[in-house]
Amino acid sequence: MDQLTEMLVEQLRDAFSAEKQAIQGMKRSLRKVTDPKLREGIEAHIEQSETQRERVEQALSSLEARPGRKVCEAMRGLVEEAQHEQEEQDKGPLLDLVTIAALQRVEHYEIAAYGTMNELARALGKSEVADLMAQTLEEEKAQDQRLTEVTRSSVLPAAMQAGEEEGSDEESGHKRSARKGSAKH
């Protein structure tokens, strides 16, 4: 196996690990989100990611390789960051917004990875692998767009409303404290 094909195999192994970790992260996120459209989107994306993982395995098989035990450190970092950010929020629109931001970072990483593997496979004349990666690349782009649409249509407006309500609660609390302070004089 030449160096470029070996590189492609390593990229595919990395993608296999990334999909596996992304699925686990999405399952954890699913338990936390409240927006119905977001929940539905995550459920559909989990299924799609399982198919994508199978596609990566198929691509590896066509190159006479196996997924192996490689761990995608980039995805590990993205999933851990998402967990930390989610832990800082209560359930509700702000948590949903944080979750979408984390999911879109994952999508953008996957778009870059699948785009690179698609081009490398094409350059190497591995059309079966290239076609599999191109299919996944298009799905990742579409998923990113769906997340943007859910953000615009429901999650961001709800988060803004929640933020405004929290802000007015803080203002009235601050005004009450100021009044109490002035009454003491």
Question: Which tens digit of pLDDT belongs to each residue from 102-156?
Answer: 999 999 999 999 999 999 999 999 999 999 999 999 999 999 999 999 999 999 9
Q: How confident is the model at residue 174 (pLDDT cuts 50, 70, 90)?
A: very low
Sequence letter at residue 87: E
Question: Which tens digit of pLDDT belongs to each residue from 7-30?
Answer: 999 999 999 999 999 999 999 999
Counted residue by residue, the chain has a size of 185
Note the maximum CA span of the chain.
84
Q: How many CB atoms lie within 10 A of CB 151?
A: 21
Residues 6+ apart with CB under 8 A from 76: 21
Of 72, 77, 63, whose CA–CA distance to 13 is shortest? 72
Query: CA-CA-CA-CA torsion for 148, 151, 153, 154, nearest 10 degrees?
Result: 160
DSSP 66-83: --TT---HHHHHHHHHHH
Q: What is the token pair recorded at 67?
A: 């997924």
Q: What is the CATH number of the domain that holds 89?
A: 1.20.1260.10
What range defines the domain where residue 89 resides? 3-183
CA distances from 147 to 23, 83, 94, 103, 143 (A): 16, 18, 15, 8, 6
Give the total number of structural domains in the chain: 1
pTM attached to this predicted model: 0.86
Of 118, 117, 116, 78, whose CA–CA distance to 99 is shortest? 78
